[in-house]
């Protein structure tokens, strides 16, 4: 199959939506899961430490393994056996892209284990495979490419696109992570099938402004993160998160629900940590830079 037998991948956490950019805007954050794959003679062995240990399956149904199988199939390869080691840092079911990290990490890891894999399965192909598994590109695109990414699906042919956009070096984030998870399915299930035209128009304007704000017009970050499209509908699933967003925004802090929640993300400048006292009891507080790199693969042997 290949002369490569062992490879390692590092893949970042991500935050999607960023307020008004529903299913289209996403950031890579400097918090990384580490995956190591080894081709073996037979069977599948999965070892997990950190986030998800004792909770996720340790067999073929593990999400990283499933993603690796998708990539191997796309490359026309069928390894006899696999040992996977996952050192997870990204918290699960908190709106920081843990499933996207697993999917992108698995796809890139499998690619790295195949001779010429990067030429045979380029990033565009990996993005399409990742979107096929995840359902939308807003988290998988920054996990793959790094930085700030505008992404979507072309309605004409169903193909995915992802375009990196500039981020001012002063901009960073603070995330507040609750102890209890919220499933993406539950959070999405609270969204109505239609929204008022005025709300959609306001969200479109704010999302466009946010692109400019992140690129350098940082005084517009608060206005550019104003959401009218989805966050308030999710209050029943995460009332404490929405309360925190509202408290922060009332103080002039550009705060949003990260992805489908319940983590709250706030934009800060120059590593500012003045928000630490506002972290609710029992929550975790992290200062995270915007990671300019996406998934990184290293061949070990």
Q: What is the mean pLDDT of each run of 10 residues along the chain (301 residues)?
A: 81 98 97 97 96 94 98 95 97 96 98 94 96 95 98 90 97 96 86 93 97 98 96 94 97 96 96 90 96 96 77
Based on the domain organization, do 157 and 193 belong to the same domain? no
In a domain, 206, yes or no: yes
Q: What are the structure tokens assigned to 104, written together?
A: 């992108």
pLDDT at 3: 60
The answer to whether the annotation marks 32 as part of a ligand binding site is no
How many independent structural domains does the chain possess?
2
The answer to whether the annotation marks 130 as part of a ligand binding site is no
Based on the domain organization, do 207 and 237 belong to the same domain? yes
Based on the domain organization, do 103 and 131 belong to the same domain? yes
Based on the domain organization, do 101 and 248 belong to the same domain? no
Q: What's the CA gap between 148 and 162, in Å, rounded?
A: 10
Q: How buried is 289 (Cβ within 10 angstroms: 0-12 exposed, 13-18 middle, 19+ buried)?
A: middle
The answer to whether the annotation marks 97 as part of a ligand binding site is yes
The answer to whether the annotation marks 151 as part of a ligand binding site is no
The answer to whether the annotation marks 118 as part of a ligand binding site is no
CATH of the domain at 283: 3.30.70.890
Based on the domain organization, do 147 and 251 belong to the same domain? no
The answer to whether the annotation marks 94 as part of a ligand binding site is yes
Contact yes or no for 109/35 (Cβ under 8 A): yes
β-bridge pairing 171-177 and 160-165: unpaired
pLDDT at 183: 85
Based on the domain organization, do 51 and 86 belong to the same domain? yes
Based on the domain organization, do 13 and 133 belong to the same domain? yes
The answer to whether the annotation marks 241 as part of a ligand binding site is no
- Range of the structural domain that residue 98 is part of: 6-165+291-299
Based on the domain organization, do 66 and 208 belong to the same domain? no
What's the whole-model pTM score? 0.95
Based on the domain organization, do 195 and 217 belong to the same domain? yes
Based on the domain organization, do 16 and 161 belong to the same domain? yes
CATH of the domain at 123: 3.30.230.10
In a domain, 1, yes or no: no
Q: What's the CA gap between 129 and 120, in Å, rounded?
A: 13
- Considering only CA atoms, give the Rg of the chain: 19
The answer to whether the annotation marks 13 as part of a ligand binding site is no
């Amino acid at each position: 199959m290949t002369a490569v037998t062992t490879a390692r991948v590092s893949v970042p956490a991500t935050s999607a939506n960023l307020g008004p950019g529903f299913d289209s805007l996403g950031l890579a954050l400097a918090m990384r899961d580490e995956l190591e794959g080894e081709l073996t003679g037979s069977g599948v062995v999965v070892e997990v430490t950190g986030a998800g240990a004792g909770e996720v399956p340790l067999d073929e149904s593990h999400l990283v393994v499933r993603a690796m199988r998708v990539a191997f199939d796309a490359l026309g390869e069928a390894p006899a056996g696999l040992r996977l080691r996952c050192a997870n840092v990204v918290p699960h079911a908190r709106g920081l892209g843990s499933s996207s990290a697993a999917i992108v990490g698995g796809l890139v890891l499998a690619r790295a284990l195949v001779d010429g894999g990067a030429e045979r399965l380029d990033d565009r192909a990996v993005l399409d495979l990742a979107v096929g598994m995840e359902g939308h590109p807003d988290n998988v695109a920054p996990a793959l490419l790094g930085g700030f990414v505008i992404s979507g699906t072309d309605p004409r042919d169903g193909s995915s696109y992802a375009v990196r956009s500039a981020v001012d070096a002063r901009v960073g984030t603070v995330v507040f992570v609750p102890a209890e998870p919220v499933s993406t399915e539950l959070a999405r299930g609270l969204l109505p099938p239609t929204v008022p035209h005025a709300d959609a128009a306001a969200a479109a304007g704010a999302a466009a402004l946010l692109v400019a704000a992140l690129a350098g017009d940082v005084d517009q970050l608060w206005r550019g993160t104003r959401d009218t499209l989805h966050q308030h509908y999710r209050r029943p699933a995460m009332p404490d998160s929405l309360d925190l967003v509202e408290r922060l925004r009332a103080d002039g802090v550009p705060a949003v629900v990260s992805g489908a929640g319940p983590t709250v993300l706030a934009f800060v400048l120059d590593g500012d940590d003045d928000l630490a006292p506002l972290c609710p009891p029992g929550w975790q507080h992290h200062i995270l830079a915007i990671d300019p790199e996406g998934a990184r693969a290293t061949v070990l042997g």
